[in-house]
Amino acid sequence: MTQRERYLSIAIGGLFVVIGFQWAFNQYRSAIRFRQNRLNSLANETENLQAQWLAGAEAERQLGEYKIRSLSSDTEVAKSSYQSWLLETVGRLGIADAIVDPVGDSPVGDLYTKFGFRVSGKTNLKGLVDLVYAIQSRDQLHRIRELQFAPVRQGVRRADAKTNENAETLNVLLTLDAISMSIADASPPPPSQTPSWRITRSLADSRDVILNRNLFQPPNQPPQYRGEEQIVAFRGEKNSVTFPFVDPENDSVSVRVEGYFPEWVEWDTDSERLIVTPPRENTEDGSDDDGDTKTAMIDQFELQVIATDNGYPRRQTTQTMVVKMRSPPPPPAPQTPPPGFDDATQTFLTALVQGRDDWTAWMNVRTRGKTLKLKIGDEFEIGSVRGKVTGVTSRRVSLEINGQTYELRPAEKLSDVLAEDET
């Protein structure tokens, strides 16, 4: 064998070895792939079977829950008991002119029977919320299929006597479905009074969310403040401060205050008044005017006055107020009452009459309609003038008034003579 033939034989042999190795590796890899695919297929089957088992368990659990929540399996008992509960509920909630009627029943195979009920009546928005909440919170197989409500008369509002809240009277119509399962007990126990776990809000929260929206009236406006933004409180006195708020819709308004107050400031909740009794000013000896221990003087403080109405929705106004302390004003000086009408302003010397021995002065007091006949030495009192006659002649009469002498001539007025002397 030549050298060339030897090399060719080795090359051919090596090629067969490589081909054999490649075939063996492919066979091994195919076996591994088949095994892995089989494992994956078995795992998927296991997961599907487990999911089916869980779904069956969930369906069984759900069916058990439905059985507990179902109406009686006796259709007559189910219909009458559910209708009785609806009548009791609308009566308890004060639904006016309430009517509860069954509106047919329809069996669904041998699984369950569906009953229909219609509830109608008149109530306000609060009563409607309470009715819907009472139905939704009862843990039974029922639902509200349809709800219709509208104002009895547009624009008419009434006052709730218990809550003093404005409320719209509504015509209400509900259609409900209730389920009686064939596998349920014929005499099931009454549902629990505890609201269903499906209810996420309490009745109070549900009222707050819904009632604070006005569905039939213009948007509610907040109260308006009609007073001064600065209040003066006198030291040493009890100052009672009110805050005048008015509501555009004439809703009732409640007032409260917030802030940091001195100890001598008090808020009267019942009368909604701020009682401010600031101490008197301190004196040089370290005490106030009443002799008490010296206290820190505060010239002013701020507070927030919050007014809230009871409209739909509730609106509030916050007003910043400044209360300033001042010394009390001095007491007013006593005032002399003005004098009444002075008869001296309408008294005239009408005549000088000569008698046998002396002269007589005739003084006519027109306001009284009488004439005084005065001689020397006679005393008189006319209005604000009090005096004495010291002399009477044919031309004049001499009068002594308050230690001074005056002369009055015929046709002259008594008050004018006194006025001329003063000037």
| Pairing outcome for strands 253-258 and 300-309 | antiparallel
Residue 345 one-letter amino acid: T
**CB contact at 8 A, 330 and 235:** no
Q: Count the neighbouring beta carbons within 10 Å of the beta carbon of residue 135.
A: 19
Tokens 């940091």 sit at which residue? 260
Nearest to 173 by CA among 122, 126, 120: 120
One-letter identity of residue 417: V
- The vertex-66 CA angle with 62 and 67, nearest 5°, equals 115
The predicted model gives 67-93 an average pLDDT of 91
pLDDT at 239: 92
Backbone phi, psi, residue 50, to 5°: -65, -40
pLDDT at 161: 35
Residue appearing with tokens 């009672």: 240
Helices (H) and strands (E) in the chain, counts: 5, 22
Confidence of residue 133 (pLDDT cuts 50, 70, 90): very high
Which two three-digit tokens encode residue 395? 């031309």
Go through the chain and tell me how many residues it has: 423
Report in angstroms the alpha-carbon separations of 199 from 65, 135, 136, 206: 17, 11, 7, 10
| Torsional class of 379: left (φ above 0), alpha (ψ -120 to 50), beta (otherwise) | beta
Ranges in the chain annotated CATH 2.60.40.10: 224-326
Per-residue pLDDT reduced to its tens digit, 95-129: 999 999 999 889 988 889 999 999 999 998 889 99
Across 291-314, b (16+ Cβ under 10 Å) vs e yields eeeeeeeeeebebebbbbbbbbeb
Q: How far apart are CA 405 and CA 395, in angstroms?
A: 16
Which residues are CB-contacts of 49 (< 8 A; sequence separation ≥ 6)? none
Instruction: Give residue for tokens 């029922």.
Output: 142
> Is the pLDDT assigned to residue 165 strictly greater than 50?
no
> What pLDDT, on a 0 to 100 scale, did the predictor assign at position 407?
87
Tokens of 148: 């219709």
Per-residue pLDDT at 83 exceeds 80: yes
Q: How many degrees, rounded to 5, is the angle at CA 157 between CA 155 and CA 160? A: 165
- What is residue 210's DSSP assignment? H
Confidence grade of residue 9 (pLDDT, cut at 50, 70, 90):
confident
As beta bridge partners, residue 413 has 348
- Cα–Cα nearest to 309, from 363, 260, 249: 249
Q: pLDDT class for 167, splitting at 50, 70, 90?
A: low
| Residue 235 per-residue DSSP state | T
Q: Indicate if the pLDDT at residue 360 is higher than 80.
A: yes
Task: Tell me what pLDDT residue 286 has.
Answer: 45
pLDDT tens, position by position, 262-301: 889 999 999 999 999 998 876 544 445 555 545 567 888 8
Residue intervals of the chain classified under CATH 3.30.70.60 are 75-186+194-211
Quote the CATH superfamily of domain 75-186+194-211: Ribosomal protein S6/Translation elongation factor EF1B (3.30.70.60)
12-46 pLDDT per residue, tens: 888 888 888 888 888 888 888 888 888 898 899 88
Q: Looking at per-residue confidence, does 314 or 304 come out higher?
A: 304
Structure tokens that stand for 3 in this block: 């050298």
pLDDT at 173 over 90: yes
Residue 313 neighbours by CB under 8 Å, 6+ apart: 212, 213, 214, 220
Question: Whole-prediction pTM value?
Answer: 0.46
- pLDDT at site 163: 42
Residue whose C-alpha is closest to residue 409's, from 382, 386, 391, 383: 391
Domain with CATH 2.30.30 in the chain: 343-422
Fold of 224-326: Immunoglobulin-like (2.60.40)
The chain-wide mean pLDDT, for the chain, equals 84
Q: Mean pLDDT lowest for which of 189-198, 229-238, 246-255, 386-395?
A: 189-198
* Domain 343-422 class in CATH: mainly beta
Band of residue 336 on the pLDDT scale cut at 50, 70, 90: low
Look at residue 156 in the predicted model and tell me its pLDDT: 43
